């Protein structure tokens, strides 16, 4: 093996630095066809070692055209995210340390730092004292864990959520063999509180910031109804929860203090790369009972700290290191400034839509998401989306509302400026009229 | 935010390089008490930004003493692992790219490279053509996925495994609400083939390389019995499967070609840091049905590639990049040489145990694991384990066999030399006699 860690490391670092610099010039959505990269990759692994320089060369020649650039300042799809510089470096350090925190003593550092940064974020979001937080890979897994805990605690098998809840709720319920009941929304796209039966419900899932519309379910009322029948209340604030670091955004946290569990993803809107999903529970003892086994060959006297006892996987990598680096290198004030700017930019874009005769908002503007459409047919909007994405200038996605094809623009990358949002508006108008 | 990516990156790289160099001098097991690190960490996140230098300083001052050094050449616990240099750099690059491969077009590069490297490893291990492989975070998740697929395909609810199967099988079954039946082993610690009922079994789990003893279940006979009653056969070769890159180790792969699914963890014995668990299935269409929310009639070209449709989480990070870097920078021959040396070192140690009057092997020596004990009482062995681990010189773990306390020495770090294994033997003898 011919890798020189310092020399090849410097080359890798320079590759990453240049990539981050080149982002404004790269097409946002990968402009390749399915199978195009595969056709260029060797059919088999090499028998003899190659150099790390060969790997970097192929990153330029083969991988770069097949990247969708989530780090681009003009990435406005799904929810836009950022892998910030301190987090990138922290991921390298985490890989060098290769901590595998299966039990406390296998990594006191990873275990205790994870508990601490989860508590730092709990405080920043204004969540209750005493909640137990840890990190899972994704909100899919965090919600899976919540459903497992809810079934364990209640002995019941049904999950109730809004028709606009994230697809992972449906998938999680299916994987667990639980029954899913979807509830309609009101005119503000909020999960309805009345008119359906909660009997047999293990868990009610309330969403703060739905994926399609960033709508906010009435958490307080749902929590009260759920608890009245002995069900668990899980809050999915994977995207919008980060906004609670800003006091003025806490309107959407109303009632969250009544939740039995809550998921917020720092890899969505807290400048940390995938994967970093924070899950808290107000009922840590019952939660832990749903997951702990502690076989003999893993038994130590430090079990109180072992985070594998709080979630599905046994193996746990050192994910807290990147979150710790971000919280320290930005500071709470630095993070607030970035999120406030994203929210300002989304409102600015929404204002342009409202002022225009050719466009319309189709859902209340919330957080850093704008849901809108060109006045005209569904086909026209779909073709418009295809054209703007094919231009490489911006990348947006769509959703459906009452059967209508509608467009989404999500601001959320730390490199995005007002110029980028204005460019998005220009590209949309240009492609709509040419 | 005051991080300079090139300057702070160079400092982070130097920190990692020095860490890797210092490993032989660092205690292997963290010599701290529960809560000791927590007491030194600030109670809250900083309001104002700190420098990345502050983070690196705290890594030295606070985190370093609380690390259990999995990268140490004298780490012999659980299964020893390696995060190799090309993989560390690849993790940094993956964080810089921050690909989130929720669907094909969200990252053609991550999706297609993952499929390709999974196929590279399939070939290296001598597995059948046509198997579909992808990466999950851990074997816990890979086996969870296999149980979900098995329940989906069979419509049944029972899981059958050896009493020595990994704890994750029991935990996965419990989380899914499936019934678990544990089967006794024969005198070679192999799961028994006869004398128990497979009716109602969704899945039989066979293990190649159990965690406690590295014993090998009779996969062929178990596959035949499982298939005779319509059950799914899942093989857990998370640790030992990597050894199949060496032709002479394929004796333990006998019958694996009959499996419906197979998990092998490159983050165990293929020089990749946690997390990287490869899961293959021989029945990709049925497997996919268990996870996809996209009905057949809505499927597009792109979706054929979307790997979130093949496992539990929606969010997927670019894990294949590190496996690709390792396979290329070592080459198949380089990896074989390292695994062969680990197996040689384990046999050497087992030989010393056998030649000694004070020690005894307690299970057949398999792969790179030695299971042994000091002749004497369980208490003496337990105290010995505590003393050698407290010395910081080596880190070993224990298990139980027929109620007896037995010690495990697992060779598996790429930096481990014959001197390190000899040192382990010397430390054990020294602590046993002083």
From the list B90, B304, B329, the residue facing A49 with the nearest CB is B329
Residues of B in contact with A269 (CB under 8 A): none
| Nearest C-alpha in A relative to B157 | A177
Per-residue pLDDT, A135: 98
Among residues A12, A217, A166, which one has the least CA distance to residue A96?
A: A12
CA atoms within 13 Å, Cβ hemisphere of B86: 27
| Contact map slice: A 48-77 vs B, CB within 8 A | 48-52, 54-55, 59, 63, 66-68, 70-71, 77
Instruction: With a cut of 90, say whether residue A300 has pLDDT above it.
Output: no
Instruction: With a cut of 90, say whether residue B418 has pLDDT above it.
Output: yes
- Number of helices and strands in chain A (H, E): 12, 11
Smallest CA–CA distance, residue A93 to chain B, in Å, is 6
The residue-averaged pLDDT of A232-254 equals 98
The residue-averaged pLDDT of A407-418 equals 98
Instruction: Please indicate whether, in this complex, the C-beta atoms of A317 and B47 are within 8 angstroms of each other.
Output: no
A258 band by pLDDT with thresholds 50, 70 and 90 = very high
Instruction: Please indicate whether, in this complex, the C-beta atoms of B5 and A85 are within 8 angstroms of each other.
Output: yes
The residue-averaged pLDDT of A65-84 equals 98
Helix H or strand E segment including B397: strand B397-401
Instruction: With a cut of 70, say whether residue A137 has pLDDT above it.
Output: yes
Instruction: With a cut of 60, say whether residue B423 has pLDDT above it.
Output: yes
Strands (E), B27-157: 132-136
The answer for residues whose C-beta is within 8 angstroms of residue B391's C-beta and 6 or more apart is B427, B431
A279 touches B: beta carbon within 8 Å = no
The residue-averaged pLDDT of A187-193 equals 95
B302 touches A: beta carbon within 8 Å = yes
Query: Taking a C-beta distance cutoff of 8 angstroms, is the pair A183, A191 a contact?
Result: yes
Backbone CA torsion sign across B231, B232, B233, B239: negative
How long a stretch of residues is chain B? 434
Residues of A in contact with B313 (CB under 8 A): 137-138, 140-141, 168
| Nearest C-alpha in A relative to B33 | A108
What is residue B191's three-state secondary structure?
A: strand
What is residue B104's three-state secondary structure?
A: helix
The residue-averaged pLDDT of B407-428 equals 98
Instruction: Please indicate whether, in this complex, the C-beta atoms of A3 and B329 are within 8 angstroms of each other.
Output: yes
The answer for residues whose C-beta is within 8 angstroms of residue A234's C-beta and 6 or more apart is A143, A146, A147, A150, A203, A204, A205, A206, A259, A260, A261, A262, A263
Residue B357 burial (CB count, 10 A): 6
Per-residue pLDDT, B294: 78
State the Cα–Cα distance between residues A282 and A233, nearest whole angstrom: 10
Taking all residues of chain A, what is their mean pLDDT, rounded to a whole number?
96
Percent of chain B with pLDDT over 90: 96
Instruction: With a cut of 60, say whether residue A296 has pLDDT above it.
Output: no
Per-residue pLDDT, A299: 55
Per-residue pLDDT, B241: 98
The residue-averaged pLDDT of A12-35 equals 97
Among residues B405, B359, B400, B402, which one has the least CA distance to residue B379?
A: B405
End-to-end alpha-carbon separation of chain A, Å? 55
A242 touches B: beta carbon within 8 Å = no
What is residue B337's three-state secondary structure?
A: helix
Backbone CA torsion sign across B406, B412, B413, B417: positive
Tokens of B362: 């307690």
A47 touches B: beta carbon within 8 Å = yes
Per-residue pLDDT, B340: 98
Interface test with B, best of A8, A86, A309 (most B CBs within 10 A): A86
| Nearest C-alpha in B relative to A57 | B325
Using omega within 30 degrees of 0 as the cis cutoff, is the peptide bond preceding A87 cis? no
Tokens of B360: 């005894």
Per-residue pLDDT, A293: 85
Radius of gyration of chain B (CA): 23
Query: Taking a C-beta distance cutoff of 8 angstroms, is the pair A65, A31 a contact?
Result: yes
Displacement of CA A255 from its chain's centroid (Å): 22
Per-residue pLDDT, B305: 79
Per residue in B278-335, pLDDT (tens digit) is 999 999 999 999 999 876 666 666 666 799 999 999 999 999 999 999 999 999 999 9
Smallest CA–CA distance, residue A158 to chain B, in Å, is 13
Composition of chain B by helix, strand, coil, percent to 5: 50, 15, 35
With a threshold of 0.85, tell me whether the complex ipTM lies above it.
yes
The residue-averaged pLDDT of A260-266 equals 98
Percent of chain A with pLDDT over 70: 97
A69 band by pLDDT with thresholds 50, 70 and 90 = very high
B382 touches A: beta carbon within 8 Å = no
Among residues B79, B18, B29, B32, which one has the least CA distance to residue B393?
A: B29
| Nearest C-alpha in A relative to B399 | A297
Tokens of B380: 């003496």
Rounded to 10 degrees, the C-alpha dihedral B88/B89/B90/B95 comes to 90
Residues of B in contact with A175 (CB under 8 A): 148, 176, 290-291, 312
Instruction: Please indicate whether, in this complex, the C-beta atoms of B328 and A45 are within 8 angstroms of each other.
Output: yes
The residue-averaged pLDDT of A34-49 equals 97
B247 touches A: beta carbon within 8 Å = no
The residue-averaged pLDDT of B143-161 equals 98
Smallest CA–CA distance, residue B232 to chain A, in Å, is 16
Rounded to 10 degrees, the C-alpha dihedral A244/A313/B272/B73 comes to 110
Query: Taking a C-beta distance cutoff of 8 angstroms, is the pair B329, A50 a contact?
Result: yes
A394 touches B: beta carbon within 8 Å = no
Report all structural domains of chain B as residue ranges with CATH numbers, in order of start: 5-69 (1.20.1340.10), 88-326 (3.40.640.10)
Per-residue pLDDT, B383: 97
Smallest CA–CA distance, residue A176 to chain B, in Å, is 5
Among residues B70, B9, B37, B18, which one has the least CA distance to residue A97?
A: B70
Instruction: Please indicate whether, in this complex, the C-beta atoms of A140 and B314 are within 8 angstroms of each other.
Output: yes
Instruction: Please indicate whether, in this complex, the C-beta atoms of A13 and B14 are within 8 angstroms of each other.
Output: no
Residue B119 burial (CB count, 10 A): 21
A305 band by pLDDT with thresholds 50, 70 and 90 = confident
Placement of tokens 């840091």 in the chain: B273
φ, ψ of residue B128 in degrees (nearest 5)? -65, 150
Interface test with B, best of A63, A70, A247 (most B CBs within 10 A): A63
State the Cα–Cα distance between residues A78 and A75, nearest whole angstrom: 9
A63-77, A286-300, B322-336: least confidently modelled range: A286-300
Instruction: Please indicate whether, in this complex, the C-beta atoms of B116 and A41 are within 8 angstroms of each other.
Output: yes
From the list A1, A68, A83, the residue facing B329 with the nearest CB is A1
Chains A & B: contacts with CB separation below 8 Å: 424
Per residue in A331-379, pLDDT (tens digit) is 999 999 999 999 999 999 999 999 999 999 999 999 999 999 999 999 9
B42 band by pLDDT with thresholds 50, 70 and 90 = very high
State the Cα–Cα distance between residues B87 and B89, nearest whole angstrom: 5
Query: Taking a C-beta distance cutoff of 8 angstroms, is the pair A84, A70 a contact?
Result: no
Taking all residues of chain B, what is their mean pLDDT, rounded to a whole number?
96
Query: Taking a C-beta distance cutoff of 8 angstroms, is the pair B149, B232 a contact?
Result: yes
End-to-end alpha-carbon separation of chain B, Å? 55
State the Cα–Cα distance between residues B218 and B222, nearest whole angstrom: 6
B102 touches A: beta carbon within 8 Å = yes
The residue-averaged pLDDT of B132-147 equals 98
Per residue in A150-186, pLDDT (tens digit) is 999 999 999 999 999 999 999 999 999 999 999 999 9
Q: What angle do CA B271, B273, B278 make, to 5 degrees?
A: 80
Q: pTM to 2 decimals?
A: 0.97
State the Cα–Cα distance between residues A161 and A204, nearest whole angstrom: 6
A93 touches B: beta carbon within 8 Å = yes
Instruction: Please indicate whether, in this complex, the C-beta atoms of B139 and A273 are within 8 angstroms of each other.
Output: no
Among residues B39, B19, B321, B40, which one has the least CA distance to residue A94?
A: B19
A8-22, A76-90, B202-216, B286-300: least confidently modelled range: B286-300
A126 touches B: beta carbon within 8 Å = no
Residues of A in contact with B116 (CB under 8 A): 38, 41
Placement of tokens 């995207």 in the chain: A239
Alpha helices (H) in A62-126, listed in sequence order: 85-97, 108-124
State the Cα–Cα distance between residues B162 and B179, nearest whole angstrom: 14
> What are residue A419's DSSP bridge partners?
none
Placement of tokens 């999974």 in the chain: B118
Residues of A in contact with B90 (CB under 8 A): 55
The answer for residues whose C-beta is within 8 angstroms of residue B3's C-beta and 6 or more apart is A84, A85, A86, A89, A329, B51, B52
The answer for residues whose C-beta is within 8 angstroms of residue A286's C-beta and 6 or more apart is A149, A152, A153
Query: Taking a C-beta distance cutoff of 8 angstroms, is the pair B260, B279 a contact?
Result: no
Query: Taking a C-beta distance cutoff of 8 angstroms, is the pair A312, B175 a contact?
Result: yes
The residue-averaged pLDDT of B120-139 equals 98
Instruction: Please indicate whether, in this complex, the C-beta atoms of B1 and A85 are within 8 angstroms of each other.
Output: yes
Exposure of A403 by Cβ count < 10 A (0-12 exposed, 13-18 middle, 19+ buried)?
A: exposed
Smallest CA–CA distance, residue A433 to chain B, in Å, is 26
B6 touches A: beta carbon within 8 Å = yes
The answer for residues whose C-beta is within 8 angstroms of residue B420's C-beta and 6 or more apart is B73, B74
The answer for residues whose C-beta is within 8 angstroms of residue B99's C-beta and 6 or more apart is A67, A68, A70, A274, B106, B107, B109, B110, B317, B318
Q: Tell me the pairing of strands B277-281 and B232-236.
A: unpaired
Query: Taking a C-beta distance cutoff of 8 angstroms, is the pair A63, A37 a contact?
Result: yes
Helix H or strand E segment including A287: helix A284-289
What is residue B157's three-state secondary structure?
A: coil
Instruction: Please indicate whether, in this complex, the C-beta atoms of B95 and A273 are within 8 angstroms of each other.
Output: yes
Per-residue pLDDT, B329: 98
């Amino acid at each position: 093996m011919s890798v020189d860690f310092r020399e090849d490391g410097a080359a890798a670092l320079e590759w990453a630095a240049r990539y981050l610099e080149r982002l404004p010039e790269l097409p946002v959505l990968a402009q390749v066809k399915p199978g195009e990269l595969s056709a260029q990759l060797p059919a088999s692994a090499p028998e003899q070692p190659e150099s790390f320089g060969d790997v970097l060369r192929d990153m330029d020649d083969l991988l770069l055209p097949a990247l969708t650039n989530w780090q681009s300042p003009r990435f406005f799809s799904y929810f836009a995210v950022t892998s910030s510089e301190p987090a990138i470096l922290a991921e390298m350090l985490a890989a060098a340390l290769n901590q595998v925190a299966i039990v406390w003593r296998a990594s006191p550092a990873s275990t205790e730092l994870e508990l601490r940064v989860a508590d730092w974020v709990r405080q920043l979001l204004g969540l209750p004292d005493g909640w137990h937080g840890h990190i899972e890979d994704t909100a899919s897994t965090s919600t899976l864990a919540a459903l497992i805990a809810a079934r364990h605690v209640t002995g019941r098998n049904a999950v109730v959520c809004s028709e606009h809840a994230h697809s992972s709720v449906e998938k999680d319920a299916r994987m667990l063999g639980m029954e899913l009941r979807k509830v309609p929304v009101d005119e503000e796209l909020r999960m309805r509180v009345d008119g359906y039966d909660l009997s047999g419900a293990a868990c009610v899932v309330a969403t703060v910031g739905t994926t399609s519309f960033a709508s906010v379910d009435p958490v307080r009322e749902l929590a009260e109804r759920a608890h009245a029948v002995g069900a668990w209340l899980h809050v999915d604030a994977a995207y919008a929860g980060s906004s609670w670091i800003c006091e003025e955004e806490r309107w959407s946290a109303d009632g969250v203090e009544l939740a039995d569990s809550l998921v917020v993803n720092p890899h969505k809107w807290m400048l940390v790369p995938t994967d970093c999903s924070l899950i808290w529970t107000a009922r840590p003892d019952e939660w832990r009972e749903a997951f702990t086994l502690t076989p003999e060959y893993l038994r130590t006297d430090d079990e109180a700290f072992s985070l594998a006892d709080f979630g599905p996987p046994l193996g746990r990598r050192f994910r807290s290191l990147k979150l710790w680096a971000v919280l320290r290198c930005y500071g709470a004030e630095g993070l607030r400034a970035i999120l406030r700017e994203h929210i300002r930019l989304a409102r600015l874009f929404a204002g342009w839509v409202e002022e225009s005769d050719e466009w319309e908002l189709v859902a209340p503007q919330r957080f850093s998401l704008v849901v809108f459409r060109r006045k005209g047919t569904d086909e026209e909007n779909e073709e418009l989306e295809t054209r703007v994405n094919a231009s490489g200038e911006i990348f947006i996605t769509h959703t459906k509302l009452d059967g209508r094809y509608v467009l989404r623009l999500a601001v959320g990358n730390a490199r995005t400026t007002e110029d980028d949002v204005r460019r998005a508006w220009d590209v949309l108008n240009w492609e709509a009229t040419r």
